[in-house]
Homo-oligomer: A and B are copies of this chain.
Amino acid sequence: MTDAILDAALRQRAEAVMPGGIYGHQSVRFLPSAYPQFFSKGEGAYLWDVDGRKYVDYLCGYGPTLFGYANETIDRAYTDQLKTGECLTGPTALAVELAETLTRMVSHADWAMFCKNGSDANTMATMVARKHTGRHTLVIAKGAYHGAAPWSTPFPYGTTPGDRAHQIFYEYNDVESLEAAVREAGDDLAAILASPIKHDAFIDQELPNPDYARRARELCDEKGALLIVDDVRAGFRLARDCSWSLVGVEPDLSCWGKAIANGHSLSALLGNDKARYAAASIYVTGSYWLSGAAMAASLATLALIRDTNYLEETQRLGGLLRQGLDAAAGRYGFGLRQTGPAEMPLIMFQDDPYLAKGYSWVSNMLAQGVYMHPWHNMFMSASMTDADIDFTLAAAEESFKALAKENPQAPPPQIVALNEILHAA
């Protein structure tokens, strides 16, 4: 593995002009030390870091690039629209076309509003629910990520108690816990907010228990509250509809981002007619929310979602990866915890409370040209092929072999540091 000379130089420059260096979810502060911070190129399923090293990338920009980096069809739609109408003094017809297209594709949705961040869509959903009900309380799954606005950011620094008031937490997939939270909300329940699957960091992923999802729907109906599914991360990765269509439950509101425009800046709130008046009442806006180019890219992305077998392919390749990894791990005496849907995999090790094995293994994978995450769910790319899976499994074989020799036990320093921060928060 070549040295990360340019990466190190950029990190030093970043430290000087960005607080603490790179911030947010793309900071590698808590990843193994060999992980590059800066990248120079993405193409299809591959990523190049600034020192020229190529990786098969299982993060897809943390979700957005479902159809691969620099997808020609989608990016042509973007650049063509850039020539005619991007950020104008009003919207283009694309805003209407995109709303029509999304409401045709997503069963529960009668309308759409567009924004830029997943956080925007989630925040707007809470505003719609609060306006609709005239109440305040949100019932939210404990540990779920719904963005990094003052009301939702996982670390409360710089927020006020008022920002985070009126929130009651329950255990995902636990009907009794959900019922208890709703009871506690009393006559103030505005919404139940749920991720479509449990895709929290650091822990095993869970598919939604259909009983739990149905009970969430029933409780909202009983209380006159709205059911919100935060599909920002998983939307169109599990289904060509809202992810809870898989368990037969229709929310009132769903939040979208990431894959809807294959990496171009766009997010959306979709809702049903019940929530329409409230959605028309709230005042939300942004300088770029109605810009044309990302909408053109989204329409091109949605066409691929409708017209290709991307879903079945990412599921098939994710399944091959999962099987192959389990088999290879077993050959070296390791047990894996592979959780979540195969197309949004999380790979952790059994008997690895401090992620020592995980950190060592992904570092070895990285050195062989495979970018995986030790504690955040990953994403299959529709531009991956069987050859990429073969390449990954060959790297995995070597990495398990190396891991068996290393047998690491000590908690990685990054995990020690992260735990200290989590405890202080």
Show the binding face of A for B, using Cβ within 8 Å: 6, 10, 13-14, 16-20, 22-26, 28, 36-42, 47, 50, 57, 59-65, 69-70, 75, 78-79, 82-93, 95-96, 99-100, 103, 110-113, 116-120, 123, 126-131, 136, 148-151, 153-155, 157-163, 165-166, 232, 257-258, 263-265, 267, 271, 276-291, 294, 371
Contact = CB atoms under 8 A, between A and B. Distances in A.
Contacts of A100: 13, 16-17
B61 A283 contact: no
Contacts of A39: 85, 88-92
A396 to B, nearest CB: 19
A120 B123 contact: no
B90 A257 contact: no
Given A60-B89, A288-B116, A280 B20 contact: yes
Contacts of A95: 14, 18, 22
B158 A126 contact: yes
Contacts of A127: 150, 157-159
Given A16-B100, A70-B83, A153-B284, 4 more contacts: A154-B283, A157-B278, A157-B283, A160-B165
A286 B148 contact: yes
A116 B113 contact: no
A24 to B, nearest CB: 3
A115 to B, nearest CB: 8
A129 B25 CA distance: 22
Which 3 A-B residue pairings sit nearest by Cβ, starting from the closest? A24-B285, A162-B162, A127-B158
Given A117-B116, A162-B160, A284-B24, A40 B84 contact: yes
B89 A283 contact: no
Contact of A10 (B25, B96, B130): B96
19 contacts: A14-B96, A18-B99, A19-B113, A22-B290, A24-B283, A28-B90, A38-B93, A40-B84, A40-B85, A59-B89, A79-B82, A116-B286, A118-B286, A130-B159, A130-B160, A155-B282, A157-B281, A162-B162, A258-B287
Contacts of A289: 24, 117
Contact of A285 (B65, B123, B148, B166): B148
A87 B264 contact: yes
A91 B73 CA distance: 23
Interface-central residue, A25, A158, A163, by most chain B CB under 10 Å: A158
Given A82-B78, A119-B286, A279 B19 contact: yes
A265 B116 CA distance: 8
Contacts of A99: 14, 17-18
A118 B60 CA distance: 26
Contacts of A96: 10, 13-14, 17-18, 38
A285 B92 contact: no
Contact of A93 (B10, B150, B282): B10
Given A155-B283, A158-B131, A113 B18 contact: yes
A404 B128 CA distance: 46
A103 to B, nearest CB: 5
A61 B89 contact: yes
A86 B160 contact: no
A39 to B, nearest CB: 4
B111 A86 contact: no
Contacts of A62: 89, 287
Contacts of A267: 287
A113 B291 CA distance: 23
A287 B117 contact: yes
Contacts of A10: 93, 96
Contacts of A86: 42, 69-70, 263-264
B286 A24 contact: yes
Contacts of A263: 86-87, 288, 291
A345 B150 CA distance: 34
Contacts of A129: 158
